[in-house]
Structure formats: C-alpha cells, structure tokens
Amino acid sequence: MIVEMQSAAYLAEVEKMLGLNGLSPETVGALSEPQILFLTEQYRSAPVRVMVVGQETAGIEVPLANTAVEGVDSLLERQRKDFISFDYNKHYSTGPFWRGYDEVCTAFGLTSRRAAAWTNISKVQLYDGKGGSVSIEGLAAEARMEIIRWQRAMARAEIEYAKPDVIVHFTGRMRWVAGHLYGTDHKRPDVIYHQIDGAGDVTGHMTAPFLGDTIAVYTYHPAGGRTSEAKTRTSNERRLALEWAVRRLSERGPQP
C-alpha cells in the first residue's frame, strides 16, 4: 500500500493542535492523541473521491499530553506504521462499521477499501473511557465544545487536503458536530440539513459554504441499533443516503 505525504497546510494545523491552545488541563488529561488522515494512491486515482466519516477514533490509546511533548514528527511516524499495519481492518473485517464502509465502496464503484478516505468527526477519543465508551459525548458540554473548537481548523484542513467529491457521515446523532466544524463561524453554524425522501431525521444531506460542491450525506453509524428493528432501520436509511448521493453525483459528475 502506497501512502502519500500529507500537505504542508494540513500538517501545520496538526502541529498547532499539539500546542493544546484552548484546552483545559483536565480535558488534555482525558484525551488520546488526534487521528491523522492518510490517503492512498488508490484514493487519488479513484474515479470518484469518497470520504467516510465515523464518530470517534476508538483504538488510538496514546495520551495527548505525551504526544504534545514528543511533537508532530513522532505522531506521524507512529500512526503511519499503525495505519499501514491496520490496512482498513483487513484482518477483522466483519464488524458493522466495515460492512457499512464496504457498502459505500460498492455504491461508488470503488474496488478496494483503500480507494476511499477514512476519518472521524471527533479527531480524538477519551484515553480512559467512561463506562466502556471512548466517545467525547461522555464529557460535559463545556469540555465537548473545547474539543470541537480545538480540532476545528484541523478538520477543515483535512477536507481541503483530501478534496472529496462525496462525504458519507456515519455520525448518527453526533451530526451536530459537523455544524461547528463546517460552519463559517463555530458559534453561528451556517450548515443546512436537508431531509432525504423516505428517511427519518437522522439521515439526510447537508450544505454549507465551506463544503462548496462537495456532496455530503449523513446517517446512522452502522453499529447503531440493538434490536433487529433498529438494525433494519439503520441499514435501510444508509441505503437511502447512498442512493441519494449516487444520484446527485451522476447529475453533477466528479470535481476536477
């Protein structure tokens, strides 16, 4: 697998994040290091550039405070090795998230998981999960907003670097985070959420000046739902979101 070097603009934002500006000592102590975006040769050569956005970075268990001391070069080297070894979960590929990811690839005619970009709406996880969860949703509202403001520039630089034609958000009810990341002003988000015919309020598409012509849909996380009824709903609404995005792409075509 050939993995490209990130853009200078993106890496500059990662380095700024490691300055920890805007985070309280308590929040810093609760978090892992941020997830770095890696793009493959297959992504760059794909007929359509698709980015899949999950919820949080489960599995990144290096304390943020340590990484801030070590610096960006150490972070990049460690995560690059881990990314290549993980290889889009090639060894354990039957979980709900990766089944949903495969559906995305199939919908857009991508021949490999490597041909899509993979990231998360929260660039960090809780280093010491509460009640088994590593989601920042477990923190108080003030701490969550600290994190969102802190990661905002990196999240935007990530999209500017990857230049996706389509973004598929498997964010469930964490879609509110997108408003603060993609909006012109995180205090007054100008992201507009649009319903998709036949879907509930957790599934739709979003528009924002920052996104430009990028097609952005959102729906349940593939692991959402404990009952058979909920799992069916999650699967059906994912299908509706992907069908809508494919139709929109066929009308517009990939961007240069």
- Bridge partners of residue 50, in order along the sequence: 166
Instruction: Flag whether 86 is in a domain.
Output: yes
Instruction: Flag whether 2 is in a domain.
Output: no
pLDDT band (50, 70, 90) for residue 101:
very high
pLDDT band (50, 70, 90) for residue 95:
confident
Find out whether 3 and 83 touch, Cβ atoms under 8 Å: yes
Mean pLDDT of the chain: 92
- Which CATH number is 28's domain given? 3.40.470.10
Q: In this prediction, what percent of the chain has a pLDDT beyond 90?
A: 80
How far is the C-alpha of 180 from the C-alpha of 148, rounded, in Å? 7
* Distance (Å) of CA 30 to CA 20, 25, 169: 13, 9, 25
pLDDT tens string 32-90: 999 999 999 999 999 999 999 999 887 777 899 999 999 999 999 999 999 999 898 87
pLDDT score of 88: 87
pLDDT score of 132: 59
pLDDT score of 190: 86
Contact residues for 230 (Cβ-Cβ < 8 A; gap 6+): 224
Locate all alpha helices (DSSP H) within the chain, ordered by sequence: 8-17, 25-30, 41-45, 64-70, 72-86, 96-107, 141-162, 176-182, 228-252
pLDDT band (50, 70, 90) for residue 129:
low
Instruction: Flag whether 202 is in a domain.
Output: yes
Contact residues for 238 (Cβ-Cβ < 8 A; gap 6+): 100, 103, 170, 203, 219, 220, 222
Instruction: Flag whether 3 is in a domain.
Output: no
Instruction: Flag whether 1 is in a domain.
Output: no
Number of domains in the chain: 1
- Is the pLDDT assigned to residue 239 strictly greater than 90? yes
For 14, the token pair is: 């990662």
Nearest residue to 211 (alpha-carbon basis) of 190, 241, 239: 190
Range of the domain at 36: 8-252
pLDDT tens string 149-208: 999 999 999 999 999 999 999 999 899 999 999 998 766 668 999 999 999 999 999 999
In what side-by-side order are the strands of the sheet with 204-207? 117-120, 50-54, 166-169, 215-218, 204-207, 192-195
Phi first, then psi: what are they for 177, rounded to 5°? Answer: -60, -35
How far is the C-alpha of 142 from the C-alpha of 121, rounded, in Å? 18
Q: In this prediction, what percent of the chain has a pLDDT beyond 70?
A: 93
Contact residues for 2 (Cβ-Cβ < 8 A; gap 6+): 40, 41
Please state which of the ranges 130-139, 151-160, 209-218 shows the lowest mean pLDDT. Answer: 130-139
pLDDT score of 107: 98
pLDDT score of 92: 67
Instruction: Flag whether 113 is in a domain.
Output: yes
